[in-house]
Amino acid sequence: MNDSVCRDFQQTVEQYLIRHQSILDILSKTQETNARINRAVTKSVTQCGCIQIKGKKNALPDSASLMDMKALLSTHIEGKLCEHCQDIIEQELGKNLFYLAGLCNALGLNLEEVLKNENNKVKTLRIFNLT
């Protein structure tokens, strides 16, 4: 993500997050938007049918290394999101990002720094970043 886009987004959220100033409101809105993302993905399976979830136990050979797991594990998703479902899920993800930026603002955190720090941690720990 472009640093200026991240910074601009956080400033926009600071300007327009009016109604939910309380940290408790922001926390509950982030949870609500998480639920809406889950619901949108569920609807793409159960109502639209553009994707299917084929969940099953991943069979991992005893000899599999951590490096092998990326190729051996599955998302359990079959198909591709249709344009309509993709639009809805992107909207819900955007709302979630809005409240995450609002949470950063309320706590005096810089969203760009949070992203940079996490990116650096993942790059440093690589496959050992198993959180």
Confidence check: pLDDT of 129 > 80:
no
**pLDDT tens digits for range 32-51:** 999 999 999 999 999 999 99
Neighbours of 125 (CB within 10 A): 11
Domain residue ranges in the chain: 24-128
For residue 56, what pLDDT band results from cuts at 50, 70 and 90? confident
Give the predicted TM-score (pTM) of the model. Answer: 0.86
Which of these, 39, 50, 34, lies nearest to 85 by C-alpha position? 50
> Would you state the pLDDT for residue 69?
79
59-82 pLDDT per residue, tens: 888 888 877 777 888 889 999 999
Whole-number Å distance between alpha carbons of 20 and 109: 17
**Residue that wins the pLDDT comparison between 74 and 14:** 14
**Residue 108 gets which letter from DSSP?**
T
A 10 A CB-CB count for 105 gives: 19
